[in-house]
Structure 1
Protein backbone atom coordinates (compact mmCIF):
# COMPACT_ATOMS: atom_id res chain seq x y z
CA UNK A 1 0.00 0.00 0.00
CA UNK A 2 1.37 3.39 -1.00
CA UNK A 3 0.90 6.21 1.48
CA UNK A 4 0.14 9.69 0.22
CA UNK A 5 2.09 12.45 1.95
CA UNK A 6 -0.24 15.35 2.69
CA UNK A 7 0.94 18.95 2.55
CA UNK A 8 -2.29 20.36 3.97
CA UNK A 9 -2.70 20.63 7.76
CA UNK A 10 -5.54 18.64 9.27
CA UNK A 11 -8.56 20.34 10.86
CA UNK A 12 -9.54 19.43 14.42
CA UNK A 13 -12.82 20.17 16.19
CA UNK A 14 -14.60 18.98 19.33
CA UNK A 15 -18.00 17.52 18.52
CA UNK A 16 -20.17 15.74 21.10
CA UNK A 17 -17.21 15.40 23.46
CA UNK A 18 -14.94 13.72 20.90
CA UNK A 19 -12.11 15.17 18.83
CA UNK A 20 -12.91 14.97 15.13
CA UNK A 21 -9.96 15.33 12.76
CA UNK A 22 -10.62 15.87 9.06
CA UNK A 23 -8.42 16.52 6.09
CA UNK A 24 -8.07 16.25 2.34
CA UNK A 25 -9.16 13.24 0.28
CA UNK A 26 -11.86 12.29 2.79
CA UNK A 27 -9.47 11.78 5.73
CA UNK A 28 -11.45 11.58 8.97
CA UNK A 29 -10.85 10.26 12.47
CA UNK A 30 -12.74 10.62 15.73
CA UNK A 31 -11.12 9.97 19.11
CA UNK A 32 -11.56 10.62 22.79
CA UNK A 33 -9.90 13.62 24.42
CA UNK A 34 -7.36 11.32 26.11
CA UNK A 35 -6.51 9.63 22.80
CA UNK A 36 -6.16 13.04 21.12
CA UNK A 37 -3.79 14.25 23.87
CA UNK A 38 -1.68 11.09 23.50
CA UNK A 39 -1.61 11.59 19.73
CA UNK A 40 -0.42 15.18 20.14
CA UNK A 41 2.36 14.01 22.48
CA UNK A 42 3.46 11.39 19.92
CA UNK A 43 3.45 13.94 17.11
CA UNK A 44 5.52 16.35 19.20
CA UNK A 45 8.01 13.58 19.99
CA UNK A 46 8.36 12.68 16.31
CA UNK A 47 8.76 16.31 15.28
CA UNK A 48 11.34 16.87 18.02
CA UNK A 49 13.33 13.86 16.78
CA UNK A 50 13.25 15.14 13.20
CA UNK A 51 14.32 18.66 14.16
CA UNK A 52 14.40 21.68 11.94
CA UNK A 53 16.42 21.56 8.72
CA UNK A 54 19.59 23.58 8.95
CA UNK A 55 19.56 26.82 7.02
CA UNK A 56 22.62 27.54 4.91
CA UNK A 57 24.19 30.87 5.74
CA UNK A 58 26.69 32.31 3.30
CA UNK A 59 29.98 33.08 5.08
CA UNK A 60 30.66 36.77 5.59
CA UNK A 61 33.64 38.32 3.80
Structure 2
Protein backbone atom coordinates (compact mmCIF):
# COMPACT_ATOMS: atom_id res chain seq x y z
CA UNK A 1 0.00 0.00 0.00
CA UNK A 2 1.55 3.36 -1.02
CA UNK A 3 1.88 6.28 1.38
CA UNK A 4 -0.76 9.01 1.20
CA UNK A 5 0.84 12.28 0.12
CA UNK A 6 0.09 15.74 1.48
CA UNK A 7 -1.12 18.23 -1.12
CA UNK A 8 2.01 20.21 -2.07
CA UNK A 9 0.23 23.49 -2.80
CA UNK A 10 -1.68 23.33 0.49
CA UNK A 11 1.41 22.78 2.63
CA UNK A 12 2.94 25.93 1.12
CA UNK A 13 -0.19 28.06 1.66
CA UNK A 14 -1.48 27.03 5.09
CA UNK A 15 0.01 26.75 8.58
CA UNK A 16 -1.53 25.23 11.70
CA UNK A 17 -1.22 27.31 14.88
CA UNK A 18 -0.64 25.93 18.35
CA UNK A 19 -4.34 26.20 19.15
CA UNK A 20 -5.25 24.25 16.01
CA UNK A 21 -6.44 27.12 13.83
CA UNK A 22 -5.37 27.13 10.19
CA UNK A 23 -3.90 30.41 8.97
CA UNK A 24 -2.98 31.71 5.52
CA UNK A 25 -1.55 34.87 3.98
CA UNK A 26 -4.18 37.19 2.55
CA UNK A 27 -4.09 37.82 -1.22
CA UNK A 28 -3.53 41.02 -3.29
CA UNK A 29 -0.41 42.23 -1.41
CA UNK A 30 2.23 41.43 -4.07
CA UNK A 31 2.14 44.26 -6.61
CA UNK A 32 0.12 47.28 -7.83
CA UNK A 33 0.14 48.63 -4.28
CA UNK A 34 0.09 52.34 -5.18
CA UNK A 35 -3.65 52.52 -5.80
CA UNK A 36 -4.53 50.61 -2.62
CA UNK A 37 -5.14 52.50 0.60
CA UNK A 38 -2.86 52.19 3.64
CA UNK A 39 -5.70 50.69 5.65
CA UNK A 40 -6.35 48.04 3.00
CA UNK A 41 -2.65 47.10 2.74
CA UNK A 42 -2.32 46.97 6.53
CA UNK A 43 -5.27 44.58 6.80
CA UNK A 44 -3.86 42.38 4.03
CA UNK A 45 -0.58 42.06 5.93
CA UNK A 46 -2.35 40.29 8.81
CA UNK A 47 -2.77 36.54 8.81
CA UNK A 48 -6.13 35.21 7.73
CA UNK A 49 -7.89 32.35 9.54
CA UNK A 50 -9.68 29.64 7.55
CA UNK A 51 -13.42 29.78 8.23
CA UNK A 52 -15.25 26.91 9.88
CA UNK A 53 -16.96 25.81 6.69
CA UNK A 54 -13.59 25.27 4.95
CA UNK A 55 -11.54 23.77 7.79
CA UNK A 56 -12.48 20.15 7.05
CA UNK A 57 -11.46 20.54 3.40
CA UNK A 58 -8.11 22.17 4.22
CA UNK A 59 -7.36 19.60 6.93
CA UNK A 60 -7.97 16.84 4.42
CA UNK A 61 -5.53 18.46 2.00
CA UNK A 62 -2.93 18.68 4.77
CA UNK A 63 -3.68 15.09 5.87
CA UNK A 64 -4.65 16.18 9.38
CA UNK A 65 -7.98 14.38 9.21
TM-score after normalising by structure 2: 0.24
**With CA pairs under 8 Å and 6+ residues apart, which has the higher RCO, 1 or 2?**
2
Specify which structure has the higher proportion of strand: 1
User: Looking at CA atoms only, which structure, 1 or 2, has the larger radius of gyration?
Assistant: 1
TM-score after normalising by structure 1: 0.25
